[in-house]
Amino acid sequence: MLDPKVAERITRALNFQETDCVPICDFIDNSRLFEYFSHKENHSLEEKVKAYHGLGVDVCWRFNQRLSHRENGIWANLRRFAMRAPRFRVITRDELFAEFDDFAQQQELFQPYTYLAMSTEGCLSVLYRGIGFEEFTRRMYEYPIETERLIDIFAENLYQKADEFARRDLGGIFFIKDDIAYDKGLIFSLDFLQKQWLPRIKQAIRPLKDKNVKVILHSEGDIGPLIDGLISIGIDGIHPVDSTAGMDASIIKKKYGRSLILFGSIELNVLPDEEVIAHTNRYIRNAACGAGCFLGTRFGITNDLDLKRVFSFFNAIKEH
């Protein structure tokens, strides 16, 4: 069970109410950070969670399914590859149940101070990465019906996972990972996304909306031209607010107000050490982090980040 203060902070932020402190949403994949908090070189999930609790991360936005303890060596590598490779078929019930059994167990390990949110693939980027972007666009042009059927497969998988999440009552945040933009704008035409992508996402998230689960789109790049469409189909928030692509959290906050939850991002990879604290404080102030706004790094705390920079960032949040 989540700590009452953490649960209240998350709930209030999701509902555009003032919070006791800035809510933090992030993902950690930094070996030195895990070792700092666990004092161990080998890091089980239980040991990794100590870093989330030590830094005060309220929400972990990224879920990674684990291998079975009985799998090792070459079989583990094959299983790991299979889990990461796109399934060009509808997920089976056994696969679905295994994934959500593991997710529920991981949620318990993250408690009481961190909520593990579900994150899963949408129906576009998983496909164009699986077959290659040029091949995807060629097929859309030459074989539109067949390609749309492939999109439907991934949309159905998303629906099944949304339905299972809602059925098991696993909390209030669900991330959809679908990269539909880059630093210059949308990857696809707005017309294509409005006709082919938005309706499928709307149908897929229906079980979540029926349970008042907040649905967050995770996409890098400048998704600004599509935000109105996202809101119209029931997307509650965006992650990250990609400042490297020209997205400005303060402008978006002012325009959309209580219609869009922002999962703000600080680009620690490019900030000089001496600017981390000032930049973080400025971001919190301009984006009004707390009521409808979470703060974290852009894509996660990865191994290329030194600990000094990470601690400066989190200390700035706590002291604000």
Mean local confidence (pLDDT), 217-228: 97
Query: For residue 221, which of 203, 239, 202 has the smallest C-alpha distance?
Result: 239
At residue 73, the pLDDT reads 52
Is pLDDT above 70 for 295?
A: yes
Residue ranges of domains in the chain, CATH in brackets: 4-319 (3.20.20.210)
To which H or E segment does residue 232 belong?
helix 227-233
CB of 305 closer than 8 Å to CB of 269: yes
Ranges of H-type helices in 169-225:
190-192, 198-204, 206-210
Q: Which residues, listed in sequence order, are joined to residue 216 by a DSSP beta bridge?
A: 175, 237
Is pLDDT above 70 for 85?
A: no
To which H or E segment does residue 214 belong?
strand 214-218
Q: Is the pLDDT higher at 9 or at 268?
A: 9
Q: Is the pLDDT higher at 214 or at 248?
A: 214
Q: What confidence tens digit (pLDDT) does each residue in 133-170 have?
A: 999 999 999 999 999 999 999 999 999 999 999 999 99
Q: What confidence tens digit (pLDDT) does each residue in 25-36 have?
A: 999 999 999 999
Tokens 């070189």 belong to which residue?
41
Mean local confidence (pLDDT), 205-226: 98
